[in-house]
Amino acid sequence: MPISLPTLVNTEPERMLLGVNAFELPLPPREVDEAYVTAVCEQVRNASSPPLGFDFSRRLYRNFGVDPTRYRPSSESLWRRIRKGLAFPRLHPAVDATNLLSLQLQVPFGLYDAERIRGGITAAAGAENSGYEGIGRGWIDLAGKPMLRDENGPFGNPSADSARTRVTTGTRILIHVIFFHPEDPRAEENTHWALHEFANLTGAMPRDCTPAPA
């Protein structure tokens, strides 16, 4: 049966670049191999310096007037957690795989249940007083920050996703949105790599999901 996926329009192409991948998950999805998790975490703990992605992600935030040392990209927050020797959080196979990709590429990923998204997706700066209930984090203020919205309102940004479109054990179709700085030369290559690596880790089947022009 054909799968209908939401279109995505980026209204801020001069301030952010988006990579988009879509997948159909097997039920249940394949668990990420523990040896893979250990290897990625060891790479992070043994790194001699912060990765290249730190600078691009921080510049993305500064494009929106956001201080990235106060409101960190999710990729950097997870990297710092692992560097402190804390355990990698195992939550759901699709979430775990996405977090591992984010750790390796050091760019923030959004992960969304496509069947919980209503209408098309718009990427923009958050309006005054806009926000949502984050996943285990309470209210997330999005005023002026890069974010994604559908016809029901905001649901994602590079720091914390919303509870409304979260991935659960019943999720069948999901979307990755990767938040890049427009000058990041790795964007196309990394989006392509993430598509295939996520499929390999989870057994998911890639689906067409082409962003609409701004």
Q: Which structural domains are found in the chain, ordered by start?
A: 8-207 (3.50.40.10)
- CA geometry: angle 58, 117, 127, nearest 5 deg: 50
Pairing of strands 173-180, 17-24: antiparallel
Section 65-86 average pLDDT: 96
User: Does residue 129 come out as left (phi exceeding 0), alpha (psi in the -120 to 50 range) or beta?
Assistant: left
Q: Is the pLDDT of residue 213 over 70?
A: no
Q: Is the pLDDT of residue 71 over 90?
A: yes
Section 82-92 average pLDDT: 97
Whether the Cβ atoms of residue 155 and residue 117 lie closer than 8 Å to each other: yes
User: Residue 15's pLDDT is what?
Assistant: 97
Question: What confidence tens digit (pLDDT) does each residue in 8-46 have?
Answer: 999 999 999 999 999 999 988 899 999 999 999 999 999
Q: Helices marked H in the chain — which ranges?
A: 34-46, 52-63, 74-83, 93-105, 187-202
Average pLDDT over the chain, rounded to whole? 93
Percent of the chain surpassing pLDDT 90? 87
Chain length of the chain? 214
Q: Is the pLDDT of residue 3 over 70?
A: no
Under the banding of pLDDT at 50, 70 and 90, the label for residue 212 is very low
User: Residue 209's pLDDT is what?
Assistant: 62
Whether the Cβ atoms of residue 154 and residue 126 lie closer than 8 Å to each other: yes
Question: What confidence tens digit (pLDDT) does each residue in 50-65 have?
Answer: 888 899 999 999 999 9
Can you give the pTM of this predicted structure?
A: 0.93
Whether the Cβ atoms of residue 5 and residue 22 lie closer than 8 Å to each other: yes
Radius of gyration of the chain (CA): 16
Question: Measured between alpha carbons, how far apart are the two ends of the chain, in Å?
Answer: 29
Q: How far apart are CA 20 and CA 177, in angstroms?
A: 5
Section 155-164 average pLDDT: 96
Q: How far apart are CA 51 and CA 90, in angstroms?
A: 23
